[in-house]
Chain A
Amino acid sequence: MSIQAYSMGKKEIKEVQSRKLKEVVARVYENSPFYRRRLKEAGIDITNFRPEDIRKIPFTTKTDLRDNYPLGLISVDKSKIVRMHASSGTTGNPTVVAYTKRDIDAWAELNKRCLEVCGVTSDDVVQVAYGYGLFTGGLGLHYGAERLGSKVIPASTGNTKRQLKLMKDLGTTVLACTPSYALFLSESAKEEGIDPKKDLKLRVGVLGAEPWSESTRKVLEEEFVQSAHDIYGMSELNGPGVAIECRKKNGLHVWEDHYFVEIIDPNTGEVLEPGEKGEMVVTTLEKEGMPLLRYRTRDITILDDEVCECGMAHARIKKILGRTDDMLKIRGICIFPSQIEEVISGFEGLTPFYQLVVDRDGPLDRLLVKVEVSENFKSDRLTEIVDLQKRLEEELRDVLSISAAVELTEPRTLPRSEGKAQRIIDLRKI
């Protein structure tokens, strides 16, 4: 099955998608009262459905999932559900996602494919340091690695010293975790007197669940893991395993035989062309328990439909630029933390840890960027430091189109995280 998925050509992918789109629309119409109502209201003709009709189908949003809590969007009989995962639900009802046995199987297969694309084999020792539990990261990668036949260490998150000990003693070759936790592990290794180059055998990093930049890749590949790959997914779309970076690392291949991707203008809902930046919208083609039509991921990216140099025809999305909810609107201008990360990475002597503090001075928003200096920071000449701060501020203004103040902080003073990094502090009162 895998080999077939890798070698699919563009034409074959389009054919498969056309067929499966028609099938999934018919399936949800038949089995989900929610979608039947939606499709009827939108005047969709199920029997004569053509692939281009997808654009007439209204978007499904996270709010729809919440409003139909807990299982209002399933498209199978409840007896066929074998698993439920849920988001944290800090702002109301959590969102619940449901899987059939076939869904779990497909999910495992997609994660196996992702690992294979990163060069992971059955000989590898895979340490899964994503959370196991309601969060889908841990189990998703676990299933993939197990299906591949690798040796899996279900380390889950936390207990950093033990993570490092396991890595060293069990000869971990593949690390799956969030990129911010990988950075933290790398830093902690040094403190524990572990030289990753000599004492560890980390070949591949499978890093996802939050947006990360080329600069983080550079730091990790220089200091910690030979090859760092971005993996994309979200619980609404099974979990991890939706898209993966191949060895060319020029975008993430979406498994198009399972997911139909569109990029839209988040404000107007209009579908954009490949190459244009917008919000990713996904229709699940294989999901059985809880298929979603045109689900708004709130992730901002760009679609590249050219065949990749690696040979795979599955379309690529650019590394996620940010989420529509992470997007900070400051003085009316949209800003993504990733833009700031890119700027910081261009300077020597700074760490990849930063924090954004948004405040209000009278009617005006103020952005403060706290940047942490590393132990290698040149700390003798005050003029050089002042100059660095000025250049940082100038470059931020060029990139963001608004001015931001830079505050330099001492090494190890900004918060580290074991899961997704909290980098924004918004102190504005509405």
Chain B
Amino acid sequence: MVKQFSIFLENKPGRLSNLIDLFERNQIRVLAMGIAEAGNYGIVRCILDAPEKAAEALRNANTAVNLVEVLIIDMEDLHNAVKVLGEKGINVDYAYTMDLGRIVIKVDDESKAKNALSEAGIKTY
């Protein structure tokens, strides 16, 4: 299971740049990123290559950040994966693509989803 960073940001020019700057300064690589916005604010969701360092850097910068467990699967398994999840009554809350032909999925029951996918022979990261 992978930890995703969910960061609250105001929806204003320069805010995202500040955030990415912070990652750069701390040599943290962004592996995947999605943004959801609502009016004057939004949530930046991302997968980072150095989670512990990132958590510390974000805390020091007084960011409102939550860590959330997500699943990562290969894009080629997408069709099968959502079918299995749907059959088991597991909901996909949101998803966004990632480098290396992968996709990040947030479901409402991570451990159940992980078991279901593994039983169906689908690789998760």
Contacts and interface: CB of A to CB of B under 8 A. Distances in A.
Q: Closest 9 interchain pairs by CB?
A: A380-B6, A379-B8, A377-B64, A412-B62, A382-B36, A411-B62, A379-B66, A380-B66, A380-B68
A411 B8 CA distance: 9
B7 interface: yes
A184 B3 CA distance: 32
A347 to B, nearest CB: 14
Nearest to A190: B62
Interface in B57-75: 59, 62-66, 68
B63 A410 contact: yes
Interface in B38-96: 38-43, 45, 59, 62-66, 68, 93
A374 B64 CA distance: 6
B9 interface: yes
B40 A379 contact: no
Contacts of B37: 382
Contacts of A413: 10
Nearest to A187: B62
A409 B42 CA distance: 10
A307 interface: no
Interface in B9-50: 9-10, 15, 36-43, 45
A386 interface: yes
Interface on chain B toward A: helix, strand, loop, or mixed SS? strand
A374 B8 CA distance: 10
A409 to B, nearest CB: 6
A378 B66 contact: yes
Contacts of B63: 375, 410-411
A379 B6 contact: yes
Interface of A: 349, 373-382, 385-386, 389, 407-413
Contacts of A375: 59, 62-65
23 contacts: A375-B59, A375-B62, A375-B63, A375-B65, A377-B64, A379-B6, A379-B8, A379-B43, A379-B64, A380-B6, A380-B45, A382-B36, A382-B37, A385-B8, A389-B39, A407-B40, A408-B10, A409-B10, A410-B8, A410-B15, A410-B63, A411-B62, A411-B63
Given A385-B38, A385-B41, A407-B40, A379 B7 contact: yes
A305 B8 CA distance: 48
A81 B6 CA distance: 63
Given A410-B8, A410-B64, A411-B64, A382 B43 contact: yes
A376 B6 CA distance: 12
A233 B62 CA distance: 36
A195 to B, nearest CB: 15
A413 B6 CA distance: 19
A4 to B, nearest CB: 51
A373 B64 contact: yes
Nearest to A411: B62
A386 B6 contact: no
Nearest to A409: B10
Which among A379, A381, A386, A409 has the greatest number of chain B C-beta atoms within 10 A? A379
Contacts of B38: 382, 385-386
A375 B64 CA distance: 4
Contacts of A377: 8, 64, 66
B60 to A, nearest CB: 9
B75 to A, nearest CB: 23
A385 B68 CA distance: 16
A187 to B, nearest CB: 9
Contacts of A389: 39
A386 to B, nearest CB: 5
Contacts of B7: 379
Nearest to A413: B10
A408 to B, nearest CB: 5
Contact of B43 (A349, A380, A409): A380
Contacts of B42: 382
Given A375-B62, A408-B8, 9 more contacts: A375-B59, A375-B64, A375-B65, A377-B8, A379-B8, A382-B43, A410-B8, A410-B9, A411-B64
B36 A379 contact: no
A389 B41 CA distance: 11
B90 to A, nearest CB: 17
B39 to A, nearest CB: 8
A417 to B, nearest CB: 18
Nearest to A370: B40
B29 to A, nearest CB: 21
A385 B15 CA distance: 18
A373 B40 CA distance: 13
A373 B8 contact: yes
Contacts of A407: 40
Contacts of A376: 64
Interface in B79-120: 93
A380 B81 CA distance: 23
A380 B64 CA distance: 10
Contacts of A380: 6, 43, 45, 66, 68
